[in-house]
Amino acid sequence: MSVHFIDNSVFQDSVSTPRMRAAFDELAMFQRWLDVERAIAIASGELGIIPKSAAERIAAHANIAEIDIEAVKAHGKVTSHSLLGLLKDLRRAIGHDDARYVHWGATTQDIVDTGMMLMIRDGYAIIEEQLTETLRHARPLLKTYRDTVMVGRTHGGHALPITFGMKAAVWLDELGRQLQRWREAKDRILVVGIIGAVGTMASWGSSGFALQKRAAEILGLGAPISPWAASRDRIAETATLCALTSGTASRIAKEIYNLAKTEVREIEEPFTMGKVGSSTMPHKRNPVHTEWSIVLDRIIRADAGVALEAMGIENERDATHWKAEWVVIPEIFAMLSGSLAHLDATLSGLWVHPERMEKNTHMLKGLLLSERAMFVLAEKMPLPEAHEMVYQASVRAFDNDTALVDELMAEKGVAGICSRVEIEAALDPKGYVGVAGEIADGVGAHLDTLLATSGRVAAPLDALVK
């Protein structure tokens, strides 16, 4: 039985997705290690470091289907070594003297680091695809609600009118920047870790760079210009990218969560028949998707902190920090995929209530437009005096639950310079949204360009999905 929600049969799809679990599960990890052994063998055979026939034989058997996983586990319990059990069983599967060339010149961290990079590459592709699809699904919000007026809030309270199209544009622009970050960091992050015991590649003689480059080509990764066994910035950057992306998903989810509260109910995540919010209160429609995005973000950001701590490796390498990455990187990717799945489910089916938005713009009886009222008065008097006059009227309106127009018209001197009709016109929320519509248009055009260059990112995962 599983002790982690990622693998829990009931909750696994609440915290992750099947494809991402398949990219980082135990069999995927072993297969990626075998892929690295295969690439090193092929490159070594081509360069004459080992016999070409041996390279071909190793490559032919470097398949998880030929490995006795229980034997690997048993070997690990005895040796306490992460890789030797797999190497021993690969040699058994080869069943030929050429098996002695398995792992020729490599060290364990070469295999584990490069295998991790292959899993990160697979996870990377899934995250890029999820971000792309969520942006595509949410893009119509910008057009549909371009001019739908709602309350803009600052410091938790009503501030000035905005449009829901603008609010959604801010969300999607931020999400789009995350996608851009993933794209921009890819070549810097995704490189092999094939460097030998201390980074000199001495075991491959003068062919070290050539072997590294060829193995990288076979694996579809880049080749670093220096060894990175002790330089964990690439892994830390990956974790930070995940945390940044999760932070955006959580912020959007939190905003939807708040605007869906019963007293506000301007938007809410979709509800389907059969979905139950409470075991005792039949009416409840709990915000499951947004809650999960918020919860998972806390764990992802904590895990990113662990990855940053793992940068403190001593000398040319050590495992006191390194092995922490084995725990947090799969969890970060698994949970980020889960968070983005919840965000997509929310945004793609978002329930929007324009009538509630409009009603709430009038909740404060004109106070939402105090700034505009001030500027109307400032056309007839100095701005500081206009501010003070509207301030005093606003205090009375708050305290007495009265309309701002009534309090302003009661102000000494206002009736003589402004008519009630002028003030009432100034307090119309629809007339004071500035360039909100243009912001939605601009973000929409930017997203169209961003998404036009983003198709489905290929990831060799289908065979691994259970």
Q: What is the CATH number of the domain that holds 234?
A: 1.20.200.10
Q: Which of 60, 90, 106 is the last residue of a domain?
A: 106
In a domain, 267, yes or no: yes
Domain match, 143 and 84 both: no
What integer pLDDT is reported at residue 465 of this predicted model?
35
Q: Considering the candidates 2, 53, 278, 419, report the single residue annotated as catalytic.
A: 278
User: What's the rounded Cα separation, in Å, for the pair 37 and 59?
Assistant: 8
Q: Considering the candidates 80, 155, 279, 283, report the single residue annotated as catalytic.
A: 155
What integer pLDDT is reported at residue 274 of this predicted model?
65
Q: Which of 42, 72, 106 is the last residue of a domain?
A: 106
> Is 246 among the residues known to form the active site?
no
Cβ atoms of residues 450 and 180 within 8 Å = yes
Cβ atoms of residues 16 and 6 within 8 Å = yes
Mean pLDDT in consecutive groups of 10 residues from the start of the chain, 466 residues = 77 84 93 96 96 96 91 86 88 93 93 96 96 96 97 95 97 97 95 93 94 97 92 94 97 96 92 68 81 94 91 85 88 96 95 96 92 90 89 90 89 84 92 96 96 59 37
Partner residues linked to 200 by β-bridges: none
In a domain, 220, yes or no: no
User: What's the rounded Cα separation, in Å, for the pair 113 and 110?
Assistant: 6
What integer pLDDT is reported at residue 458 of this predicted model?
41
In a domain, 204, yes or no: no
In a domain, 207, yes or no: no
Domain match, 444 and 318 both: yes
Domain match, 316 and 187 both: yes
Domain match, 373 and 355 both: no
Domain match, 255 and 268 both: yes
Domain match, 101 and 112 both: no
> Is 278 among the residues known to form the active site?
yes
Cβ atoms of residues 145 and 165 within 8 Å = yes
Domain match, 75 and 163 both: no
Partner residues linked to 149 by β-bridges: 163
In a domain, 466, yes or no: no
In a domain, 64, yes or no: yes
Q: Which of 80, 106, 132 is the last residue of a domain?
A: 106
What integer pLDDT is reported at residue 438 of this predicted model?
97
What integer pLDDT is reported at residue 58 of this predicted model?
96
What integer pLDDT is reported at residue 276 of this predicted model?
63
What integer pLDDT is reported at residue 277 of this predicted model?
64
In a domain, 120, yes or no: yes
Task: Return the CATH number at 79.
Answer: 1.10.275.10
In a domain, 401, yes or no: yes
What integer pLDDT is reported at residue 466 of this predicted model?
30
Domain match, 40 and 72 both: yes
Partner residues linked to 373 by β-bridges: none
| Residue-wise burial string across 218-244, b where 16 or more C-beta atoms lie within 10 A, e elsewhere | bbebbebeebbbbebebbbbbbbbbbb
Q: Over the Cα atoms of the chain, what is R_g?
A: 30
Domain match, 281 and 324 both: yes
Domain match, 314 and 373 both: no
Domain match, 350 and 232 both: yes
Long-range Cβ contact pairs of 449-456 (< 8 A, separation 24 or more): 450/135, 450/176, 450/179, 450/180, 451/132, 451/135, 451/136, 451/139, 454/128, 454/132, 454/179, 456/129
What integer pLDDT is reported at residue 266 of this predicted model?
94
> Which residue segment(s) compose the domain that 100 sits in?
12-106
Report the relative pairing of strands 157-163 and 149-154 from DSSP bridges: antiparallel
Number of domains within the chain: 3
Long-range Cβ contact pairs of 397-400 (< 8 A, separation 24 or more): 397/364, 397/365, 397/366, 397/367, 398/367
Domain match, 389 and 265 both: no
